[in-house]
Structure 1
Amino acid sequence: MHGSPRHRQLRSRTGSDSGSGTGGFSVRDSKQSSIMEKLVFLILSAVFRRKGLLLFAPLLYISMMLLYMGSLNFDVSISNLKTRVVSVSKRAPPGSLYRSPQVFEKLWPFMEAESRNSTTHALSTAWNSRVHNVWKPCINSSTVTELPKSNGFLIIEANGGLNQQRLSICDAVAVAGLLNASLVIPIFHLNSVWRDSSKFGDIFDEDFFIQALSKHVNIVRELPADVLQQYNNNISSIVNLRVKAWSSPMYYLHKVLPKLLQLRAVRIAPFSNRLAHGVPSDVQALRCLANFEALRFAESIRMLADLMVDRMIKKSSQSGGKYISVHLRFEEDMVAFSCCEYDGGEEEKHEMDLARERSWRGKFRRRGRVIRPGVNRVDGKCPLTPLEVGMMLRGMGFDNTSSIYVAAGKIYKAEKYMAPLRQMFPRLETKDTIATKEELAPFKALYLCWTCKDSQTR
């Protein structure tokens, strides 16, 4: 009788056993109680009712399993043994917080000791190639025949950063070959993040690009006058086909080709990631040809790059002229877009909110959009800080005598985040330490010019 749920429920209502040692289980309901405490109280109360037990049994089972596995990340404890008050507190899931500085602080003494006692340099074996297969050409030139008559002109707009633009160009070459279309030299989208007004010829060798593909895809610098006149000499008047991301070759043949034949010219903007990964071998061969043979940097970029490589080799004489090149992706836009949190507190959150609004104008404030920094970090979607890259390199065996060349844009709060990387690798170089201001000036001038124009139009 005393052990029945109905009797325990009656006792909890009358409060007759609240101070007895036989121990009824009660939950204090106060103004300071959290939502989770109330939820626990409601679930326990429901369990003690026969009808509620049947109703909530499955939910209770699932909840207890999640709590047991740590998925909900709540600590449940009895905070007061006398009154038996249940205390529920939320804890951060493992790996959801940025704790690399604390890890580095503990590991640094071991790194220093390892550097002093190191007898073999990691670079002595890192450059020993284990790949013995000979590189094969993308396309067998002996099978190439004369190009058939073009079905029309394809105009694409390569959006995103430099790497996305490169991928878009390679996909555009593949699609042009698939449709037997003449590809107009790709247009670069003026992105609000990078604010770079560079054209194709400013970055890539345009003449070489056309010549390298001449036997496979017809490339033209601009639309013929008669086609342009058909659209009132305005490219924007040409129909822009909205192609879904990762579209298949069959989609282009069934949907885009008929429009191309009908209109003589079509646009696809934006064009980033508009061709599926899995494509027939002949289409993939054109991608390969564009990426590995047709695309090369403009002469001015190649000359400066060769000069910087020679200087880096001389600076890395202690390691036999070999060095590590690291492309850090810890620019402000990358940090903002990732929606991850580091150790900058409220100031960092405010700066990232402003950066997201400035570059993506409301994209991250849309209804239903939930930003969960902890989940992003657990899922491995947070850009590595320079500190984390440095610890990774030290873990791979590179010591403080290794020469490091950092290829990156402007690092977010560089003074703070680059300091530990320089501490681990004193022989660290960047483009600003390898090249002179005069050598870099021509490449910065275009960016600065566009930035000034952009700020004036706001």
Structure 2
Amino acid sequence: MGERFDYGIWTSNIYYGCSQKSEQFKDAVEKTNLDRFLMITTSGGLNQQRTWISDAVVAAYILNSTLVVPKLDNKSYRKDQSNFSDIFDVEWFMSYLSKDVSIVKELPMIDGRFVHPHPTRIPRKCDVECYESRVLPLLEKKKVVMLTKFDYMLSNNLHADLQKLRCRVNYHALRYTNAIREMGKRLVERMRIKSEWYIALHLRFESDMLAFSGCNFGGGDKVRRDLERMRTRWDTLPQRSPDKERREGRYALTPEEVGLLLRALGYGDDAHIYVASGEVYGDENTLLPLKQIFPNTHSKDTLATTEELAPFASYSSRMSALDFIVSNESDVFATNNNGNMAKTLAGTRRYFGHKPTIRPNFKKLYRLFLDRGNMTWEEFVSQVRTHQVGFMGRPNDSKSGKGEFYEDPTDCICVDTNYSNIQTHNQSQNDSQSHSEANTHIAQDNISDPDIKDHEQVIYKEHNVCLTRYDRNEKQTLGDDLPIRSKFVEGEGRGEECHLANE
């Protein structure tokens, strides 16, 4: 695929996941009280559900209880009616964790009768002492406890053995069903046929996320009316200052912006991109700027037939699972947002060898994209690479986001001791490098070839001309001749800039 970047923007390194239990970790048979049952109902989308299921297993271990296979959220915005066994291999889940935690598919009778679960809520980020003081007495009295609103209900900071249990659940026990894995494998194989290397881009630009964001990304009156209509579905949406939210880094990049980011980081226009997303607002018109920057753009719908996708197409979680598989198998994963799938995949890729994972430095890129019409392509590239130091999925990267455990499972990552000397040497080099030198370590400069350089200059120049022509007349409608702007952006300049809510 054109020029290969040997520095490693396509490759991983010497780290690997390690989640083995210590000798002090007691097996389920030693500690489970057979008269106690813990139940939860997960909330949110697929990646939130993975997190809450993993946390529920740890909670059951803390409480010496049997876990009833969690119920999945069927009442969210997408109203996916899938059960646990429709998405995950339930037999594998129970078997893999059998020595760690006792798990049953359904709540059995207790003392010859059905017991109605006692519902209760606990504080967020509850630690071991919190569970033992708040939930354990209820279990001893009621026998069956249902933890409601089970999200973020377990502390990030736990003993290493409990953290490793989290990793065993999330990275090993939660295996997708055979049907999902086989379809996911087929999609990966078709990407590999097209190219030796590929980038998976998780693109959050669905209508509900735009509605939650409170903005329209310059979409004009029609888009504004559409989103206002959608916002009426939720009575509790907070009022935000769009400019402040974007300035503080709580927003998502547009398809155009994330395309320019990847190009500036060294990926040529021959790179193949797999777009992992739901139904993008504006459809092809919205994706047009990305496809003009990266013509080799693919998705589930372009790689598979309608008949092949039919068993999954009506279920958002199953479609998301397919995207998860293709994204995790990619050589590079990039995202335009800081939502749950982005965080979960960032942690998964750290666990499986720190595979390159590009997370935008939203705060720094905000000003850069705002001013990009006033600089040359070389200046833009230089600043992008400077801002992205620490956001490329390297072992020593600064941590983005709020530091959730599943985003950065530090207790479950080890380094190959055969390479310890290399690691020490590299760390020494990193400590001695100046910030400007670190700039060149983001990617090899792939615009040294005059033809490639001229081509990228043309793209950037056309992009700036488009913006200049557009911004001079706020009432102008974008025509087909404008190369790097989405056709759904109509009529009112760039408009308000604001963030998309997390998944």
Q: Same fold judged by TM-score > 0.5?
A: yes
Q: 1:377 aligns with which of 215, 240, 246?
A: 246
User: What is the DSSP-based 3-state SS (H/G/I as helix, E as strand, rest coil) of the residue aligned with 2:58?
Assistant: helix
* 1:446 positional shift: 5.0
Q: 1:259 aligns with which of 110, 131, 138?
A: 138
* 1:244 positional shift: 2.0
Match of residue 168 from structure 2: 289
* 1:417 positional shift: 1.5
1:338-370 alpha-carbon deviations (Å, 9 max, x no partner): 223311123323222222332xx3012xxxx43
Match of residue 347 from structure 1: 222
Q: 2:103 aligns with which of 194, 219, 238?
A: 219
User: What is the DSSP-based 3-state SS (H/G/I as helix, E as strand, rest coil) of the residue aligned with 1:183?
Assistant: strand
Q: Which amino acid aligns with 1:402?
A: A
In structure 2, relative to structure 1, the CA distance for the partners of 1:135 and 1:444 (3 Å cut) is closer
In structure 2, relative to structure 1, the CA distance for the partners of 1:285 and 1:447 (3 Å cut) is closer
In structure 2, relative to structure 1, the CA distance for the partners of 1:427 and 1:123 (3 Å cut) is farther
Match of residue 28 from structure 1: none
1:117-157 alpha-carbon deviations (Å, 9 max, x no partner): x973448842233x324432332489654333425111101
Q: Which amino acid aligns with 1:314?
A: I
Match of residue 71 from structure 1: none
Match of residue 147 from structure 1: 30
The separation in 2 between residues aligned to 1:142 and 1:324, in whole angstroms, is: 42
The separation in 2 between residues aligned to 1:141 and 1:336, in whole angstroms, is: 50
Deviates more, 1:132-141 or 1:335-344: 132-141
Asked if 2 retains the 8 angstrom alpha-carbon contact of 1:400 and 1:426, the reply is yes
The separation in 1 between residues aligned to 2:6 and 2:274, in whole angstroms, is: 14
Deviates more, 1:222-231 or 1:162-171: 222-231
User: What is the DSSP-based 3-state SS (H/G/I as helix, E as strand, rest coil) of the residue aligned with 2:118?
Assistant: coil
In structure 2, relative to structure 1, the CA distance for the partners of 1:123 and 1:351 (3 Å cut) is farther
Alignment of 1:261-410 (within 5 A): 261-316=140-195, 321-358=196-233, 361-364=234-237, 369-410=238-279
In structure 2, relative to structure 1, the CA distance for the partners of 1:246 and 1:340 (3 Å cut) is farther
Match of residue 104 from structure 1: none
Asked if 1 retains the 8 angstrom alpha-carbon contact of 2:19 and 2:165, the reply is no
Pairing 1:126–2:9 present: yes
The separation in 2 between residues aligned to 1:207 and 1:310, in whole angstroms, is: 27
Pairing 1:160–2:29 present: no
User: What is the DSSP-based 3-state SS (H/G/I as helix, E as strand, rest coil) of the residue aligned with 1:418?
Assistant: helix
Work out the number of aligned pairs and report it: 315
Pairing 1:422–2:291 present: yes
The separation in 1 between residues aligned to 2:158 and 2:221, in whole angstroms, is: 47
Higher CA-based Rg = 1
The separation in 1 between residues aligned to 2:165 and 2:76, in whole angstroms, is: 31
The separation in 1 between residues aligned to 2:25 and 2:248, in whole angstroms, is: 47
1:207-231 alpha-carbon deviations (Å, 9 max, x no partner): 0000010000011000002379444
The separation in 1 between residues aligned to 2:192 and 2:2, in whole angstroms, is: 22
Asked if 2 retains the 8 angstrom alpha-carbon contact of 1:153 and 1:183, the reply is yes
In structure 2, relative to structure 1, the CA distance for the partners of 1:425 and 1:440 (3 Å cut) is same
In structure 2, relative to structure 1, the CA distance for the partners of 1:228 and 1:410 (3 Å cut) is farther
In structure 2, relative to structure 1, the CA distance for the partners of 1:446 and 1:327 (3 Å cut) is closer
* 1:183 positional shift: 0.6
Match of residue 58 from structure 2: 174
The separation in 1 between residues aligned to 2:72 and 2:16, in whole angstroms, is: 35
In structure 2, relative to structure 1, the CA distance for the partners of 1:124 and 1:305 (3 Å cut) is farther
Q: Which amino acid aligns with 2:222?
A: E
Q: 1:239 aligns with which of 100, 118, 122?
A: 118
User: What is the DSSP-based 3-state SS (H/G/I as helix, E as strand, rest coil) of the residue aligned with 1:187?
Assistant: coil
Pairing 1:209–2:93 present: yes
In structure 2, relative to structure 1, the CA distance for the partners of 1:147 and 1:426 (3 Å cut) is same
The two structures have a TM-score, normalised by structure 2, of 0.59
Q: Which amino acid aligns with 1:147?
A: E
The separation in 2 between residues aligned to 1:140 and 1:280, in whole angstroms, is: 11
Asked if 2 retains the 8 angstrom alpha-carbon contact of 1:338 and 1:381, the reply is no
Q: Which amino acid aligns with 2:123?
A: K
The separation in 2 between residues aligned to 1:276 and 1:174, in whole angstroms, is: 11
The separation in 1 between residues aligned to 2:113 and 2:75, in whole angstroms, is: 28
Name segments (4+ residues, structure 1) moved above 6 Å: none
* 1:245 positional shift: 1.7
The two structures have a TM-score, normalised by structure 1, of 0.65
Q: Which amino acid aligns with 2:197?
A: K
* 1:267 positional shift: 0.5
Q: Which amino acid aligns with 2:121?
A: R
Asked if 1 retains the 8 angstrom alpha-carbon contact of 2:19 and 2:164, the reply is no
Q: Which amino acid aligns with 1:344?
A: G
The separation in 1 between residues aligned to 2:197 and 2:268, in whole angstroms, is: 14
In structure 2, relative to structure 1, the CA distance for the partners of 1:122 and 1:328 (3 Å cut) is farther
Q: Which has the higher contact order (CA 8 A, sep 6+)?
A: 2
Q: 1:137 aligns with which of 16, 19, 22?
A: 19
The separation in 1 between residues aligned to 2:242 and 2:111, in whole angstroms, is: 50
* 1:445 positional shift: 4.2
The separation in 1 between residues aligned to 2:290 and 2:56, in whole angstroms, is: 39
User: What is the DSSP-based 3-state SS (H/G/I as helix, E as strand, rest coil) of the residue aligned with 1:158?
Assistant: coil
Asked if 1 retains the 8 angstrom alpha-carbon contact of 2:36 and 2:65, the reply is yes
The separation in 1 between residues aligned to 2:156 and 2:109, in whole angstroms, is: 35
Asked if 2 retains the 8 angstrom alpha-carbon contact of 1:205 and 1:295, the reply is yes
Match of residue 67 from structure 2: 183
Q: Which amino acid aligns with 1:286?
A: L
The separation in 2 between residues aligned to 1:312 and 1:229, in whole angstroms, is: 54
The separation in 2 between residues aligned to 1:420 and 1:228, in whole angstroms, is: 64
Q: Which amino acid aligns with 2:144?
A: A
Identity score, percent: 37
Choose between structure 1 and 2: higher helix proportion: 1
User: What is the DSSP-based 3-state SS (H/G/I as helix, E as strand, rest coil) of the residue aligned with 1:409?
Assistant: coil
Alignment of 1:28-67 (within 5 A): none
Cα RMSD of the aligned pairs, angstroms, is: 2.3
Alignment of 1:88-99 (within 5 A): none
1:212-264 alpha-carbon deviations (Å, 9 max, x no partner): 10000011000002379444xxxxx5221111221222111101010011100
Match of residue 41 from structure 1: none
In structure 2, relative to structure 1, the CA distance for the partners of 1:336 and 1:224 (3 Å cut) is same
Asked if 1 retains the 8 angstrom alpha-carbon contact of 2:43 and 2:76, the reply is no
